[in-house]
Structure 1
Amino acid sequence: MIRLLRALILQWLVLIVVLAITALLVPGIQVSGGLWGLIVTAAVVGLVNALVGPVLRLLALPITVLTLGLFSLVVNAVLLWLSSLLSGWLHLGGLFTTVLAALVISVLNAIGTRLVLPSRPHRAAGTR
């Protein structure tokens, strides 16, 4: 249980840093409210991805398969847009800016998570 809570907090911290970097790199993306705005926005983005993300990804699965995964960028952009509606501190530019921000967040979050969270060793079949 403690390991799960630790991983959740580390993932949240990674997302805070990723959102700050994305706001610096992508013109048109702004997180207002300083550190508090980043903290709350990261929590909102995490909750939207955890609660709405699986349903939206499942509904978009046929189109995602047909586009060889490219449609997942649109799904991530929709989730980011929804997060901006729920968070008063995340301000997005136009459609292209939102899709670019979703791409940057996805890539940086994958890198940050890989660096911060240790990977679990794979178990052989039938062993405990």
Structure 2
Amino acid sequence: MTLLLVWILNAVALLIVAYILPGINVASFGSALIAAVVLGLLNMLLKPVLQVLTLPLTIVTLGLFLLVINALLFWMAGSMLKGFEVAGFWWAFIGAIVYSIATSLLSNLIPN
């Protein structure tokens, strides 16, 4: 039950990001649900690999390169899906930050 609630809240967070930022478009709530699944899978499967491969760069930038990795995964999800579009890297960068903030705030609504 909690997984379903987290999935819906992540889709709502994507809709919030699309509402706030003009460079990110989500066609419908269904598209947001699919995009939330794809973002979750990319973060689960590719993010650890990218973090290991870019560890020296991450250390040199004191961890700030992790924001770039998040933006690239956000942009990749936008390029893979039809109903979820990201206009460019900088929109993905800002969108990934806003999406992280929105999911953090919305996750506080879930009872422990």
The structure 2 residue matched to 1:93, chosen from 87, 93, 97, is 87
Moved over 3 A (4+): none
- d(CA) in 2 for partners of 1:81, 1:117: 31
- d(CA) in 2 for partners of 1:54, 1:35: 28
Letter in 2 for 1:81: W
2:10 corresponds to 1:29: no
For these two proteins, the number of residue pairs brought into alignment is: 112
Deviation at 1:19, TM superposition (A): 0.1
Counterpart in the other structure of 1:82: 76
SS in 2 for 1:30: strand
Counterpart in the other structure of 1:72: 66
Deviation at 1:58, TM superposition (A): 2.1
Deviations 1:43-96 (A, max 9, x none): 111111111122112222222222122111100011111111221111111221
TM-score, normalised by the number of residues in structure 1: 0.78
TM-score, normalised by the number of residues in structure 2: 0.88
Deviation at 1:117, TM superposition (A): 5.0
Counterpart in the other structure of 1:121: none
Cα root mean square deviation, aligned: 1.5
The structure 1 residue matched to 2:105, chosen from 111, 115, 118, is 111
Q: Which has the larger radius of gyration?
A: 1
The percent of aligned pairs where both chains have the same amino acid is 36
Q: Is contact 1:10-1:117 (8 Å) kept? A: no
Residues 70/43 of structure 1: CA separation in 2 closer, same or farther (3 Å cut): same
2:3 corresponds to 1:8: yes
